[in-house]
Amino acid sequence: MFFRPGPWLLQGLAQVQQALPSQCGICGRWPSQRVCGDCTARWAGTQPRCRRCALPLPAGAAECGACLRAPPAFDAAWAAVDYGYPWSLLLAQLKFQQDPGAAYALAQLLARVPGVSAALASARWIVPVPLSDQRLRERGFNQAALLARALAGNCAPLPQAPDCAHLLVRARHTPAQSGLQRDRRLRNLRGAFEVPAWQTARLAGQRVVLVDDIMTTGATLDAAAQALRRAGASHICAMVVARTQRLPRQ
Ligand SMILES: [Zn+2]
Ligand SMILES: [Zn+2]
């Protein structure tokens, strides 16, 4: 027998971390929340984004040209910030240190984006983008699952939208995506995700929020959303903390 810390423990730790005085992870001010209000105001300004893929857009534009030409498999997307300093530091803590405090702070950042709370409240499931078994063994945890749990536990009215890491699985390991352009990524990811047959009844006709830490080209979220769509999900929103600019020549 062994004891395995469950989501309730990580969530509890995050709440304890929030309750205790700590230092702002960006400006170092003490005592503070994990990210202080001044740093949030300074580094997370509101940015108009494509409603379909969350790409930064000039004010007044609703969708980017790429989404108008070939919309992704998800219906809408939200991002809290553009990828870059200082959020890249907090995202690295989430990814490499299994830091529930970072997950909580980043989920809070996402929850303040207009439309996010309503999307979470109307979702039946909050589903993290899964890692392959191989990557999960190497890293020991899935940072997207930490975020999904923080979003479900702290930002959505439970039990309407529980986080569920088992509805969508990685069918096979895919090589690292970084450095590849979108069409190569899409080829790389074909068939990478699936909904186990015994789970499809839970998804049929349901609204789903798909969570990841960073969206680069959107190819991973697109492949994951295709699998949810095949399983019958009626509406799929992608939610990420940070959005990168598109790679050139796409
Ligand atoms: Zn600060
Ligand atoms: Zn777009």
The ligand with the least distance to the CA atom of 89 is 1
pLDDT value, residue 179: 67
**Which residue type is seen at 208?**
V
Which pair of tokens denotes residue 186?
């899409």
Higher-confidence residue of 105 and 6: namely 105
Residue 109 contacts residue 88 (beta carbons within 8 Å): no
∠ CA 45-181-186, rounded to 5°: 100
pLDDT at 240 over 90: yes
Give strand ranges (E) for the chain: 76-82, 125-128, 169-170, 193-194, 207-215, 235-243
Question: Mean pLDDT for the chain?
Answer: 84
- Classified as helix, coil or strand, 32 is strand
- One-letter amino acid identity for 191? G
β-pair type (169-170, 193-194): antiparallel
Name residue 188's beta-bridge partners.
none
What residues contact 197, with CB distance under 8 A and at least 6 apart?
A: none
Looking at residue 178, what is its pLDDT?
67
* Reported confidence tier of residue 9, pLDDT bands at 50, 70, 90: very low
Q: Work out the pLDDT band at 154, boundaries 50, 70, 90.
A: low
Contact call for residues 185 and 219 (beta carbons, < 8 A): yes
pLDDT of res. 171? 85
User: What DSSP string runs through 105-134?
Assistant: HHHHHHHTSTTHHHHHHH-SEEEEPPPPHH
Ligand nearest to C-alpha 44: 1
> What is the separation of C-alpha 200 from the centre of its chain, rounded to a whole number of angstroms?
22
CA atoms within 13 A on the CB side of 232: 13
Best-predicted range by mean pLDDT (17-21, 168-172, 226-230): 226-230
Whether 187 shows a pLDDT value over 90: the answer reads: no
Could you tell me the CA-to-CA distances from 65 to 50, 52, 74 in Å, in that order? Answer: 9, 11, 16
Longest dimension (CA), the chain: 58
Q: What is the pLDDT of residue 5?
A: 39
Tokens linked to 175 = 């090589």
Q: CA angle 162-90-102, nearest 5°? A: 40
Query: At 135, is the secondary structure helix, strand, or coil?
Result: helix
Highest mean pLDDT among 6-10, 95-99, 188-192, 194-198: 194-198
31 Cα: distance to centroid of ligand 1 (angstroms): 10
- pLDDT reading at 248 higher than 60: no
Residue 233 pLDDT grade (very low, low, confident, very high; cuts 50, 70, 90): very high
For residue 190, count other CB atoms closer than 10 A to its CB: 10
The pLDDT score that the predictor gives to residue 33 is 83
Ligand number nearest to the C-alpha of 70: 2
From the CA of 23, the nearest ligand is 1
User: Which residues is 243 bridged to in the sheet?
Assistant: 82, 215
Tell me, what's the pLDDT at 18?
Answer: 54
Residue 26 CA to ligand 1 center (angstroms) comes to: 5
Query: What pLDDT score does 6 carry?
Result: 46
Domains along the chain? 47-243 (3.40.50)
pLDDT digits (tens, 9 = 90+) for 195-215: 999 889 999 999 999 999 999
CB-CB neighbours of 206 under 10 Å: 18
**pLDDT at residue 155 in the model:** 58
Taking the centre of ligand 1 as the mean of its atom positions, its distance from the CA of residue 32, in whole angstroms, is: 8
Ligand 1 centroid distance, CA of 90 (Å): 12
